[in-house]
Structure 1
Amino acid sequence: MTKHLRGTEVVLSFIVGHLDPEGIAQKNLVDACIAARVKRFAPSEWSIASNSGSAMYRSKDIVSAYLRQVNKDKKRLEFCLFQPGLFLDYLIFPHSTTKHAQLFCTPWDLQNRRAIIPEGPDFPLVLTTVGDLVKVVVEAVTFQGTWPERGGICGNKFMNSEFLKLAESIRGEIRPIHVEVASNTDIDNLSFKTSWIPQANHASLSPEERASISKQFLGMILTAVRNGAFGVTEEWNQLLPNVEMTKAETFLRMIWKD
């Protein structure tokens, strides 16, 4: 792999976490980048904050810890964890405005005017469009300063209760948004008593895997939610103040206007 990376300045990784649960493939990629003298590396993050507590995202934390380890005594590879929170685009499913990101239903199902949240206090929710993430990454590739290790990208920051009010104002004319609460015990045991479960129709999953993975996916999101992992930081907003972020209300009303 090293010979193919020689002369490359920036490597962006999109290895799917559950297909590399121990982070072996990404660790090998990191080692190859260092050997090839690649300047910058972005591991396969592209989502929520680190240490979310979600088993399906454990490999992300393994890889970020490995990157810090290899740089402990001397900076051998500049890296950034690009973390945009939840893609706002998921909240227009089954519609789509993006070509390359496959969308699927989340616990915030605006199409069917329903949501599933964990029991407990309100929680932060950062929503960023795929397009805005792309704009930030394009700017970051040629950024003249040093990349931040934690690279939060904040398109829109809500508390969940605020977002549900917005969703209600957009989709609540026919009937209100129906919110179901999953207990912490049900989340931990993946034994949901909710009337529905979002289906994880990701391209990396076979039809046989989807039923069981859908429960795991719901558990992953709700675990991360109650740990505050969707409240990502704003490092790239501060470093790239000229990158304009899409407003959630404008984006959602554009799709759901009819």
Structure 2
Amino acid sequence: MVKIAVAGGSGNVAQEIIDVLVATGRHEILILSRKDIPTESTPGITWIKANYEDTESLTQILQGVHTVLSFVSEQESQSSPFQKNLIDAAIKAGVKRFAPSEWATSGTQQLSWYAYKKYIRGYLEEVNKKGKVLEYTLFQPGLFVNYFTRPYKSTKHIHQMEIMIDFENRRAIIIDGSEDAKITLTAVQDLANVVSKAIDYEGEWPVVGGIHGTTISIGDFIKLGEKVRGGPFTVEKVTKEEFEKGDWETSWVPRIDHPSIPVDQVDIFSRVGVAGILLGISAGAFKVSDAWNRLLPDYEFVQAQGFLEEAWEGKP
């Protein structure tokens, strides 16, 4: 049994992982949040309202903590001051393991809103440059396959945004000529289970912690969608240059209403996000390694085809 601190623990992905950790009954869980503390709490969980601008108070909070899982989102600041302070506090408090706020892609190219992730990768490298000070892993599952069951829930907490391959309406937007670009699709349930197993893992964490469900080309994934949904998809193709210039036009624009995006900015970000994600896919940012698969050979990962066939069976 160890003490785990979850920073930004009120987020969707964090809640999926917390549920699994609580179910094990093996760990003490401390949730740090900038929001007000809930009036009702789950047994085994302690909530603390945290000030990420105050390294000293964070250091006190992290006393006795073995592992920190960060879900702090800092799109507004490329230098990620809150996470940097959290790392500094973890080191001062003697924390053994740290997982920065990754939970997505292997690369950040074309994904401007992930600049803070790139900065923190560099900062963690720097703190360990002269010798290991803090063990860490970058948990990277690629895209959650759960997004593609929208509007039907396939997970308790994940908010299902509209995405460029729309199974419900049998349509897709892709970059012209990108059919061979690869994406990794992983169930959020697998991510949560792997994180739980990683906390108990006795070996050293890999720096690049890819979690691999299914890796498939865009073209083959659309074909899979057509098989699962029982009919052809309408595929709109936009050139890479049009996405880069921002002057692309399609018959629909996926609404990327992630909880971290202010409501009044969703429409603007949706166009930026669609272009960035598709350019990122083309650049290989959504293809991740199988590092944790190899370290956990007895764990059976969900495959995209079976998952989606089950989710869409009998649906109109």
2:244 to 185, 188, 200: 188
Q: Which runs of 5+ in 2 are unaligned?
A: 1-57
Q: Please show how residues 103-118 of structure 1 align to structure 2 within 5 Å.
A: 103-118=160-175
Whether contact under 8 Å (2:107, 2:284) holds in the other structure is no
Q: Distance in 2 between matches of 1:32 and 1:72?
A: 18
- How does the TM-score come out when normalised to structure 2? 0.78
The alpha carbon displacement at 1:51 in A equals: 3.7
Whether contact under 8 Å (1:50, 1:60) holds in the other structure is no
Counterpart residue identity of residue 132, structure 1? D
CA offset digits 1:206-233 (Å, max 9, x no partner): 3211100111111221121111111111
Q: Distance in 1 between matches of 2:60 and 2:247?
A: 48
The alpha carbon displacement at 1:203 in A equals: 1.6
Greater displacement, 112-121 / 236-245: 112-121
**Matched residue, 1:213:** 269
Whether contact under 8 Å (1:10, 1:41) holds in the other structure is yes
**Matched residue, 2:176:** 119
Q: Distance in 1 between matches of 2:74 and 2:273?
A: 12
Which 4+ stretches in 1 moved above 3 angstroms? none
Q: Please show how residues 166-181 of structure 1 align to structure 2 within 5 Å.
A: 166-173=224-231, 176-181=232-237
SS in structure 1 of the partner of residue 266 of structure 2: helix
**Matched residue, 2:149:** 92
Q: Please show how residues 109-148 of structure 1 align to structure 2 within 5 Å.
A: 109-121=166-178, 122-148=180-206
Greater displacement, 144-153 / 197-206: 197-206
Whether contact under 8 Å (1:153, 1:232) holds in the other structure is yes
Whether contact under 8 Å (1:47, 1:83) holds in the other structure is yes
- How does the TM-score come out when normalised to structure 1? 0.95
Aligned residues: 256
**Matched residue, 1:242:** 298
**What is the alpha-carbon root mean square deviation over aligned residues?**
1.3
Counterpart residue identity of residue 101, structure 1? I
The alpha carbon displacement at 1:111 in A equals: 0.7
Whether contact under 8 Å (1:84, 1:154) holds in the other structure is yes
CA offset digits 1:1-56 (Å, max 9, x no partner): 10000100100111124144321111111111111111001011100112433111
Identity %: 40
Is 1:43 aligned to 2:100, yes or no? yes
User: Quick check: which has more Rg, 1 or 2?
Assistant: 2
Q: Distance in 1 between matches of 2:282 and 2:74?
A: 21
Q: Distance in 2 between matches of 1:254 and 1:191?
A: 38
Q: Distance in 1 between matches of 2:278 and 2:302?
A: 25
SS in structure 2 of the partner of residue 18 of structure 1: coil
Counterpart residue identity of residue 103, structure 2? W
CA offset digits 1:138-159 (Å, max 9, x no partner): 0001110000000011101111
2:210 to 127, 152, 173: 152
Is 1:164 aligned to 2:215, yes or no? no
Higher relative contact order (CA 8 A, sep 6+): 1
Q: Distance in 1 between matches of 2:79 and 2:257?
A: 23
